[in-house]
Amino acid sequence: MSLLPGIFSGARHLLFPRLCCGCQRPMLPEEKLVCFICARQLSPTGFHHVPLNEAALRITGRFPMERATAFCYFAHGGLIQHLLHQIKYRRRADLAFELGAAMGTALAEAGFLKGIDALVPVPLHFRKEWKRGYNQSERIAAGVEKATGVPVMAHLLQRTRHTESQTTKTAAERALNVKDAFRVRRQAGFSGKHLLLLDDVLTTGATLEACATAILRDIPHSRVSIATAALASG
């Protein structure tokens, strides 16, 4: 009996091959996010091995932070941009999960998750989440949880107001746009915990700063670290 699920998943693979998001060719069962050839174009940063990295330097000094990393470099026209576009606008929540799993594996191997008690995805406003069907940061966090066993606390933070898109704003406008846009919904049991804030892209860090500020203000003795799937040019 225990063979049956394997046989079914094998047959399913033959009948409905999953296509690589990068090159559209059928993927092998062991290929997860993209095929092995496309995976070479993902440009991993390796930041989680280096405490003083570009992601950490971009946000350091703005709020008390333990450590920060970004998994891949974001290049315009590159594969990670394509993946994030599919995730945000083409309902590919599965890709967000696999991206999170790949990221979680890399972070765990580097020891970056040592002492982290829980993963906290940056929340979307409920209207935006309803429109998209899911919160991409929460799906990335679910992938990290699957790969590492560190639990996701998806509803610890709440976005209390809808904010305009950050994409065309300057750094100062971005900071003002998201200031006080988040609150901690549930503090009980999180006092003294080390929380890893997760988001899809780090640009100026304004959103992450607003989230971290809410956590550090509302949860006594909490500590915050940061991880994003991609680092955009700030």
Of 61, 82, 59, 79, nearest to 69 by C-alpha is 59
- Kindly tell me which of 20 and 216 has the beta carbon lying closer to Zn ion: 20
- Kindly tell me which of 39 and 50 has the beta carbon lying closer to Zn ion: 39
Q: What's the first-to-final CA gap in the chain, in angstroms? A: 54
Residue 23 sits in the site that holds Zn ion (CB under 5 A): yes
CB of 81 to Zn ion, least distance (A): 15
CB of 86 to Zn ion, least distance (A): 13
CB of 136 to Zn ion, least distance (A): 21
Strand-strand pairing, 182-184 and 157-159: antiparallel
Q: Which of residues 37-96 bind Zn ion (CB under 5 A)?
A: 38
Place of tokens 């990221």: 103
CB of 190 to Zn ion, least distance (A): 40
Place of tokens 């919904």: 185
- Kindly tell me which of 39 and 110 has the beta carbon lying closer to Zn ion: 39
- Kindly tell me which of 35 and 201 has the beta carbon lying closer to Zn ion: 35
Using the rule CB under 5 A, give the single segment among 28-36, 74-82, 95-103, 199-207 that binds Zn ion.
28-36
Using the rule CB under 5 A, give the single segment among 34-42, 50-58, 60-68, 145-153 that binds Zn ion.
34-42
CB of 14 to Zn ion, least distance (A): 19
Using the rule CB under 5 A, give the single segment among 14-22, 121-129, 139-147, 209-217 that binds Zn ion.
14-22
* CA triple 132-128-229, angle to 5 deg: 70
Cα separations in angstroms, 79 against 39, 41, 126, 147: 9, 7, 29, 22
Strand order in the sheet with 194-202: 68-73, 223-231, 194-202, 118-121
Among residues 32, 33, 35, 148, which is the contact residue for Zn ion, using CB under 5 A?
Answer: 35
Name the residues that contact Zn ion, by CB under 5 A.
20, 22-23, 35, 38
